[in-house]
Amino acid sequence: MNELTELAITEASELLARRSISAVDLAQATLRRIEETEPVVHAYATVLAEGALNAARQADAEIAEGRRRGPLHGIPVAVKDNMYTRGIPTEGGSRVLEDFVPAYDATVVDLLTKAGAVLMGKTVCHEFAYGVNEPPTRTPWDLTCYPGGSSIGSGVAVTVRSAFGALGSDTGGSIRIPAFINGIVGLKPTYGRVSSYGVLPLAWSLDHVGPLTRTVKDCALLLQAIAGRDPNDPNSADEPVPDFSADIEAGARGMRIGIEREYFFYEGVTDDVRLAVERVISEYAQQGAEIIEVKLPELEVTPDTLFTIMLAEASTYHRQMLREHGDRYDPATRANLQLGELIPATHYLSAQRARALFRSAMAALFKSQRLDAMLWPTMPLTTVPLADLYSPRKDGIAETPMVSYIHHTFSANLTGQPAISVPCGFSGSGLPIGFQLIGRPFAEATIFRLARAYEREHDWFTRKPAVKH
């Protein structure tokens, strides 16, 4: 009964609440889907079949006794393998952590479990979420192409329906890039909105944990379960957590959306991405949103600023491990870690100054233009063959595809603003395209509302790639 895995979380949740289906049905259908798809896409690092079935049985029993915990109770989910799971291997995609089994759960894993979600397994990620090695995971849209990263297995699992939702982490785009490439929804929440306790760090001041799902409403449900202050995480924010779904159907009318063209619609944006995102902008205007053209020249500093900070912070975290287990790192990760060690402290602090300047400019722009959100393509181009990722672009743009990808995602990590990637079509060659909405800090509800206003007029989220052996 694989039709069950076609359900959105919201739909499955209603059926579970009415006891029209059971959590065991859902878990078994998901396990069958994992069996069908894993030989091709390799989204999972660890599958927890027995644990998932036990959790599903417990969910069914509690729901039958009238003790339903909420909308995620009995829903099959997955988490990125950089998140600690008590008694379950957590290797962060690295031989350095081979056979490492944490003694406790990451806060987000604990919260998902408390919400009654059924953990199907741990998803593959790039080594320590750095995004530079080549894991075995493939995107079902084209098995020869870059599947996104570093929350690569989370993106693919949701796409092939081997998880209803998944958690990822995002330091420079690692939730939104796989969301774009795989045609699903991915949210990087506000910095501090979701605890990072028990999540392997890449760069402390840039790391965010967030959900990947098929629909915007599902994304809001997952965020609801994991958001909130965590005393174990010093970067966790003491901000109230609203009901993210309360106004999700309120529409776009009256909302003010900023469009910056010089940087986000530069010559590196391909025609099919440009056209798809221009259509989104027009549609918001038709729905009654105000489209405001804005300028933000400080955007030019974002790629080098973020990369300098990320390199230095990552190398600080890995300093000891690099000396003790240097040969166990992938050569590409090791090269970045070596580079980060040689960045002068003055360059790191200058980058943090540029970041402060950029954050001030962004805040001033939102305030002066009374913006609710900004909108731009999540990435300037669709995915490319893996072999081309670090070669100059074939369309004459003087940068590699990887540099183009992060060109559009780094800024929200620097400011800490919430950013969501939403599917908005396909290229001529059938590859997914998405757009990004960036909101005010802690205003995830606003970008969910806008994202949903677009999504409910389209059926992109129902498109499913064939997975062929």
Partner 1 sequence: MGYGRATSTEKLDPKVVQALAQRLGLKLSSEELKALTASLSNQLAAIKAIERFDLKHTVPVLRMDARWHE
> Could you say whether residue 304 binds partner 1 (CB under 8 A)?
yes
Give the binding-site size for partner 1 (rule: CB under 8 A).
64
> Could you say whether residue 298 binds partner 1 (CB under 8 A)?
yes
Q: In whole angstroms, how close is the CB of 3 to partner 1 at the nearest point?
A: 41
Given a contact cutoff of 8 angstroms between Cβ atoms, the answer to whether 174 and 131 are in contact is yes
DSSP 299: G
Q: Quick check: is 154 catalytic?
A: no
Comparison of 121 and 189: residue with beta carbon closer to partner 1: 189
Among 356, 370, 394, 430, binds partner 1 (CB under 8 A): 356
> Could you say whether residue 101 binds partner 1 (CB under 8 A)?
no
Distance CA 388, CA 37 (A): 25
Closest residue by Cα to residue 167 from 225, 206, 240, 95:
225
Comparison of 197 and 454: residue with beta carbon closer to partner 1: 197
Given a contact cutoff of 8 angstroms between Cβ atoms, the answer to whether 337 and 315 are in contact is yes
> Could you say whether residue 294 binds partner 1 (CB under 8 A)?
no
Q: Which of 22, 94, 162, 174 is catalytic?
A: 174
Q: Which stretch binds partner 1 (CB under 8 A): 31-39, 175-183, 258-266, 319-327?
A: 319-327
Is 320 exposed, middle or buried (CB count within 10 Å of its CB: 0-12, 13-18, 19+)? exposed
Q: Which stretch binds partner 1 (CB under 8 A): 110-118, 156-164, 246-254, 413-421?
A: 413-421
Q: In whole angstroms, how close is the CB of 121 to partner 1 at the nearest point?
A: 29
Radius of gyration (C-alpha) of the chain in whole angstroms: 21
What is the CB neighbour count within 10 angstroms for residue 66? 6
List binders of partner 1 among 131-150 (CB under 8 A).
131-132
Among 42, 214, 440, 452, binds partner 1 (CB under 8 A): 440
Q: Quick check: is 80 catalytic?
A: yes
CA 191 to chain centre: 13
> Could you say whether residue 368 binds partner 1 (CB under 8 A)?
no
Among 63, 403, 419, 424, binds partner 1 (CB under 8 A): 403
Q: Where are the alpha helices (DSSP H) in 326-469?
A: 331-341, 345-368, 401-407, 410-415, 444-455
Distance CA 309, CA 206 (A): 8
> Could you say whether residue 415 binds partner 1 (CB under 8 A)?
yes
- The site map against partner 1 for 371-400 (x = CB under 8 A) is -------------------x--------x-
Comparison of 217 and 355: residue with beta carbon closer to partner 1: 355
What stretch of H or E contains 209?
A: strand 208-213
Closest residue by Cα to residue 148 from 120, 265, 158:
158
Is 338 exposed, middle or buried (CB count within 10 Å of its CB: 0-12, 13-18, 19+)? middle
Among 87, 231, 326, 430, binds partner 1 (CB under 8 A): 326
Q: In whole angstroms, how close is the CB of 241 to partner 1 at the nearest point?
A: 14
Dihedral over Cα of 227, 439, 355, 149: its sign: positive
> Could you say whether residue 402 binds partner 1 (CB under 8 A)?
yes
> Could you say whether residue 46 binds partner 1 (CB under 8 A)?
no
Q: Where are the alpha helices (DSSP H) in 231-330?
A: 271-286, 302-325
Q: Quick check: is 205 catalytic?
A: no
What is the CB neighbour count within 10 angstroms for residue 89? 15
Q: In whole angstroms, how close is the CB of 322 to partner 1 at the nearest point?
A: 7
Question: Amino acid identity of 374?
Answer: M
Q: What residues are labeled active site?
A: 80, 150, 174
Q: Which residues bind partner 1 (CB under 8 A)?
A: 131-132, 172, 190-193, 204-206, 235, 237, 239, 298, 300-301, 303-308, 310-311, 322-323, 326, 331-332, 334-336, 338-339, 341-344, 347, 349-357, 359-360, 363, 366-367, 390, 399, 402-403, 406, 415-417, 440-442
